[in-house]
Amino acid sequence: AEKERQYVARTQAKLGNAAFVDSAPAEVVEKERQKLKEAEVRAEKLEKYLGDLA
């Protein structure tokens, strides 16, 4: 779960970087946004799973 949270944070920072968003091809930015959404879902599921185990 921690690795997913770290990945989400890194990807959010990357997408929050105007220089990256402005200079990267639109397909790359869109792919990063999609990967971010998927990672957020995985992180949420892992958090729930770990919470259920506790």
The per-residue pLDDT for 1 is 80
Which regions in the chain score pLDDT beneath 50? none
Task: Determine contact, residues 13/48, Cβ cutoff 8 Å.
Answer: no
Rounded to an integer, what distance in angstroms lies between the CA atom of residue 43 and that of residue 18?
25
Give the predicted TM-score (pTM) of the model: 0.84
Q: Which pLDDT score, from 0 to 100, does residue 4 have?
A: 93
Q: What residue spans define the domains of the chain?
A: 2-53
Helix locations, 1-54, DSSP H: 2-16, 18-23, 26-53
Distances (CA, A) of 20 to 10, 30, 33, 35: 13, 12, 12, 16
Query: Which pLDDT value is given to residue 54?
Result: 79
